[in-house]
A and B are shown apart, each in its own frame.
Chain A
Amino acid sequence: MIPAKFDYERAGSVDEALTMLAQHGDSAKILAGGHSLIPAMKLRLNQPGVLIDIGRIKELRYIKDGGDHVAIGAGATHDDILNSDHFGGGLEMWTEAAGMIGDPQVRHKGTLGGSIAHADPAADWPAVLLASDATIVVKGSGGQREIASSDFFTGFYMTDLQDGELILEIRVPKPPAGSKSSYQKFMQPASRFAIVGCAAVITMDGGSCSRARVGMTGVADGPYRATNVEDALTGKSLDEGAVESACADAAEGQSVMSDHFASEGYREHLARVYAKRAVMAAS
């Protein structure tokens, strides 16, 4: 399978990429790792006029300690995250999720920026970003802005990213002392995409839960924070029974997906089971 014809330009820097984007307008598409875009172009689901390759921009590929947060460049690959030692102290789920994405070859090429821009409803990172209260830094011709992850993911393959904007960085606040996190997923056995995935960050204070963050993916047409589960966990001592009942409504209020991998009812069941597993593993 061969993509439709397009022109190709490689950007050497963020500024150069932004200039190219402004110049080509609607016909341009950014190419990062290419592991969502190229398969779609081969199937001709996507036929951009110009590809702007940002895969070599060194200033986009980093993971660093920013004091109260960890800063991840949009060009960091899943494999970079898997092998980084920045994800301790309540951020363990980042390493866990990275290791569950696709296979080694997908992890070598696919980037964090590409995954969140693509916003596949079965992708892993969106749940992790939501449970992290992460901020997404983007830049376009109108300047730079910061978007809370809860505002960034707007639906089925949809984000708040505007035409001509480039994702630069993902900022992950360090959770409070006493936090643990976990990412658990029920995966599609061939692609390893999440049929249901849950990221949980739990903070314990003297035997009871003082703060909970629960991000879900795969369940509905977009990722979401299960705030009802978070509220039900807060203030409880997290024995198995308490967690199970707090997670009972993990899919409530969502337009739950149904496809040939899992029916609506089965997905709701999996949402409860995987929310419970992630919370138990993080507490």
Chain B
Amino acid sequence: MSVRIQVTINGQSREAEVEPRTLLVDFLREHLQLTGTHVGCDTSSCGACNILIDGQSAKSCTMLAAQVDGSEIITVEGLAQNGNLHPIQEGFKEEHGLQCGFCTPGMMMTAVDLLNHNPDPSESEIRHALEGNFCRCTGYHNIVRSVQYAAKKIRESKKEAVA
């Protein structure tokens, strides 16, 4: 059996025939070559595979591609706009929020979800929001700073837009 799905990924509509057992992360990586979304644990624990589905962060290794038929998805490839880094990407760069970079796409997608709902999070709120994302390199401090950097940058650009 195969199922037909239509998804909007990073603003582009895509249609595909998939086997029901195709995991969403494999659909992104193998079928669409969107390899920015990583597979870390493959057991729903590490958050390396986090993406946004209809505005909410979710683990793409724990979902079927068939489940997201009709949804809007944003992956790390969809963050930069017109060649300009997203503030969260800039934050990770400026604050040294990564070492090996394996956890980074998932971290950024979780952080974007947080900042969409809470533009001015406290340090503790940031740490709680990242509780499903594991990093084996950084010790998390610079990741928290990266998120704070992005939060500030987004707030400032909104103020400028109003002024």
Contact surface of A with B, Cβ cutoff 8 Å: 1-8, 10, 31, 34-35, 38-39, 41-42, 51, 53, 55, 79, 102-106, 108-109, 190-192
Contact = CB atoms under 8 A, between A and B. Distances in A.
A108 B56 contact: yes
Contact of A105 (B3, B20, B110): B110
A190 B42 CA distance: 14
A38 B132 contact: no
Contact of A104 (B20, B44, B45, B131): B131
Contact of B57 (A3, A4, A108): A108
B21 A5 contact: yes
Nearest to A7: B1
Given A8-B3, A104-B131, A108-B56, A2 B64 contact: no
A105 B50 contact: yes
B88 to A, nearest CB: 16
B32 to A, nearest CB: 17
Contacts of A51: 20, 64
Contact of A39 (B44, B110, B113): B44
A131 to B, nearest CB: 25
Contacts of B57: 104-105, 108
Nearest to A55: B67
A109 B45 contact: no
Interface in B1-58: 1, 3, 19-21, 23, 26, 42-45, 47, 50, 56-58
B44 A2 contact: no
Contact of B43 (A39, A41, A79, A105): A39
Contacts of A190: 45
B135 interface: no
Nearest to A192: B131
B20 A2 contact: no
Nearest to A53: B67
12 contacts: A2-B23, A3-B21, A5-B19, A5-B21, A34-B62, A39-B62, A42-B23, A42-B42, A55-B67, A105-B132, A106-B59, A109-B63
A10 B3 CA distance: 11
B147 to A, nearest CB: 14
A144 to B, nearest CB: 27
A105 B23 contact: no
B154 interface: no
Interface residues on B, range: 20 to 34
A108 B58 contact: yes
A109 B62 contact: yes
Contacts of A2: 21, 23, 26
Interface of B: 1, 3, 19-21, 23, 26, 42-45, 47, 50, 56-59, 62-64, 66-67, 69, 110, 113, 129, 131-133
A79 B45 CA distance: 18
B6 to A, nearest CB: 13
Given A8-B1, A103-B132, A191 B45 contact: yes
Given A35-B44, A42-B23, 4 more contacts: A31-B64, A39-B43, A104-B132, A109-B63
B106 to A, nearest CB: 9
Given A8-B1, A104-B131, A108-B57, A34 B63 contact: yes
B132 A102 contact: yes
| The 8 A-B residue pairs with the shortest CB-CB distance in the complex, in nearest-first order | A103-B132, A8-B20, A3-B21, A108-B56, A7-B1, A103-B131, A105-B59, A8-B66
A51 B56 CA distance: 24
Contacts of B113: 104
Contacts of B56: 79, 108
Chain B CB within 10 Å, residue with most, of A7, A104, A109: A104
Contacts of B67: 31, 34, 53, 55
Contacts of B3: 8
Chain A CB within 10 Å, residue with most, of B1, B20, B44, B66: B44
